[in-house]
Every structure is written in C-alpha cells, then in structure tokens.
Structure 1
Amino acid sequence: MDAVLEQVGPRLRAARRKRGWTLEDLATRAGVSPSTLSRLESGKRQASLELLLPLTRQLGIRIDDLLPASSADPRVRRAIERRDGMVIAPLTLEDSPVQTFKVIYPPSEKAPSPRIHDGYEWLYVLSGRVRLVLDEHEHLIERGEAAEFDTRLPHSLSATADGPAEVLSIFSAAGKRMHTYRAE
C-alpha cells in the first residue's frame, strides 16, 4: 500500500502542472498553504482525505485519478472444453473483443455439414492438416498455413482422416458464439 501512496504526490504535481498552475495558485484556490502542498507533492507529508478533497476539486479530477489503476491478472484461466471429439482451449479473456482458441480436431473421414453465421474467422494450422469446406469448395490447409474467411459463407472445419489437427482460431464476437456454444 505504501507504493500506492507514494504516487499520490507526483500525480498531484503532474495534474497541477498540466493546468499550468504554480504551487501558490493551487494552494490559494484550495485553501491550503503552499508549503503544505509542496510537502504533499514531494511525499514529505502524508495525504489525507481532508487535504486531498479541496485540491482535487480545484483541479477537476477525482481522488482515484491520483492512485495507480489496479492491474488485473492478465493470465487466461478458462476451462478447456471437450465436444464432439474436439478439444477447445480458450486463449483470451472472456470479455476480449476478439476471441482466440487452440482447437484440436480429431481425425475425420468426411467434412461436417457446413454452417453459416455472422462473423469472421482466421485460423493457423499448428500441426496436421485441416479440411476447410468454404462455399462448397474443399481446401486442405497444411501445417504452417493460415486461412481467413467471412463466416456468412457456408463453411466447415475438420481434420483429415490421416490424423488430428491442432489449430489456432481467431473469431469475431459473432463467430465465437457460434463455434463455442452448442445450439439448443
């Protein structure tokens, strides 16, 4: 918590300087002495609510603006799903505007039925071969290759019969909903 409080003074000074005010300008407007404000900005005086409220009001900022933003845990800790022989591992936070997944497709003799929905998809084959049926045309996507397409075209994805395929898939929000949730 001390590291958080140490940032109050420098942030207060930065807000004052941003307005082009001197210590005397802000101190007079807020009804505090210039020496008190100077000690607060330099960290020689501890910040109190009673002292900060008139200063932040005059600066047109919130007390929260003087505190560092709490950083959220950036690690993605979402459950892996298993469905229809596929393993689907989320690689982005749930509220990310674009969703990324690592998908392992099991070997398959034939392509599943094509689907259409709003959205856009990009994929990269990490291992194996992927059968992409797009608008009635079959494309074999090899390891190290990528593909992108508008999901409003009829499409399906599957591994070929010669083994599983591991893919990175990126979806727009609409594409993510269609691919990661079961139709009811």
Structure 2
Amino acid sequence: MDDDLDRVLTAVGPRLRALRRARGVTLADLAEATGISASTLSRLESGRRRPNLELLLPLARAHGVPLDELVGAPPTGDPRVHFRPVRRHGMTFLALSRRPGGTQAFKMIIPGALHDVVPEPKTHEGHEWLYVLDGRLRLVLGEQDIVLTPGEAAEFDTRVPHWLGAADPGPVEVLILFGPQGERAHVKART
C-alpha cells in the first residue's frame, strides 16, 4: 500500500472518534443508527480495523457529513468557495457573501442556552440590518430592549451600543446584512 493511502486510512479512526464525541453520541447510539456493531465501531476508531466503503458510507450518513470529510480527502481543485461556519461566543456565523469593502451577508444561529446571558452592548463602525428567520431574538439597542419574532426586521447604526441574543431557551436564526458606515438599504418598491 502506498504511503499516502496508508496515511489517509490511519487518520480515519481518530477523525471518526472526534466527530462522534463532538456530537455527544455514544458508540451504542451510533451502532443503532448505522447497523454497525459497537465493537466494530470501537475497532475502527482505535485503528485496529481498516475502514472500507461498507462501513464509511453509513457513518457519513449518520453524522450528516460528506464521505470526503470522514477520510480527509485532499481538495479536488473545485474552484468554488465553500464557506465554513465560524463559532464565536457560542454563536454560529455563516458568511453568505465575500464582497470586500461592501455589504456583507451572514446567517447567525444563537443557541437558546445563551438566553440568560447578561447583555454587554458593543459599538463599532457600520450599519446593520437584521431579519429573524426562526426563534425569538432579543435585541438590546441603546436604551431599548426589544424582542423580534420570525418575519420581523431591524435596522440600526452600529455606533449605537447593541447586543443580540436569544429571548428564550429556543435557538434563533437571523439573517444579517452589515455594511460600512453611511451605507443604507435602498428600497426600490413598496407594496
């Protein structure tokens, strides 16, 4: 077996273990979801069993990840940009655009576990537009403490102290447009 293939296969076990543990799944749970015995899964994770497609395909499906991610396949030269979520302060941000210097679009997911965090409003240069997709968003904006629900939007100058969080134990999904100072939304039509 060539060294590159051997290196890829050797790295699969630790990658499988890390993925399972990061998701808080037990070997028994994973065995039930995949139909692969817990002992086989344990041997795969420890490197005592070589991975094969019959084992990796159900594992990729159970974890909801592409097979390439399980085996750490090298990039194939795909020219498209694949945005990766970024986690900050317990929240997940997914960049939806990459226009340097212009308006940036993000999807933000705030876990409900953060609903009881004491707000610490911050300021920075720019202008922000929010649209709540799901859940209840708590927006502290200056002296105002507002709860926005799905379908509601807010627009504000980010030099005003502001803070975003979950209003209750449920998660919140928000679309955010952030633009440089002075840039405002231009409405072309109203119904």
Alignment length (residue pairs) = 102
TM-score by length of 1: 0.51
Cα distance change of structure 1 residues 132 and 94 upon mapping to structure 2, 3 Å threshold: same
* CA distance in structure 1 between the partners assigned to 2:83 and 2:99 by the alignment: 8
* CA distance in structure 1 between the partners assigned to 2:133 and 2:104 by the alignment: 18
* CA distance in structure 2 between the partners assigned to 1:76 and 1:134 by the alignment: 34
Show structure 1 runs of 5+ residues with no match.
1-72, 175-184
Q: Secondary structure at the match of 1:152?
A: coil
* CA distance in structure 2 between the partners assigned to 1:125 and 1:162 by the alignment: 16
Aligned match of 1:95 in 96, 100, 120?
A: 100
| 8 Å contact from structure 2 (residues 137, 167) kept in 1 | yes
| 8 Å contact from structure 1 (residues 132, 157) kept in 2 | yes
Aligned match of 1:85 in 90, 93, 105?
A: 90
Q: Secondary structure at the match of 2:84?
A: coil
* CA distance in structure 2 between the partners assigned to 1:74 and 1:171 by the alignment: 26
| 1:72-123 CA-partner distances (Å, limit 9, x unpaired) | x996522210122211000002526110000001121144200011110001
* CA distance in structure 2 between the partners assigned to 1:74 and 1:147 by the alignment: 36
Cα distance change of structure 1 residues 134 and 96 upon mapping to structure 2, 3 Å threshold: same
Q: Look at both structures and tell me which one has the larger radius of gyration over its CA atoms.
A: 1
Cα distance change of structure 1 residues 127 and 74 upon mapping to structure 2, 3 Å threshold: farther
| 8 Å contact from structure 1 (residues 111, 157) kept in 2 | no
Cα distance change of structure 1 residues 109 and 157 upon mapping to structure 2, 3 Å threshold: same
* CA distance in structure 2 between the partners assigned to 1:138 and 1:150 by the alignment: 16
RMSD: 2.1
| 1:29-88 CA-partner distances (Å, limit 9, x unpaired) | xxxxxxxxxxxxxxxxxxxxxxxxxxxxxxxxxxxxxxxxxxxx9965222101222110
- The sequence identity of aligned pairs, in percent, is 49
| 8 Å contact from structure 1 (residues 119, 173) kept in 2 | yes
Q: Which residue of structure 1 lines up, in the alignment, with residue 56 of structure 2?
A: none
Show structure 2 runs of 5+ residues with no match.
1-77, 182-191
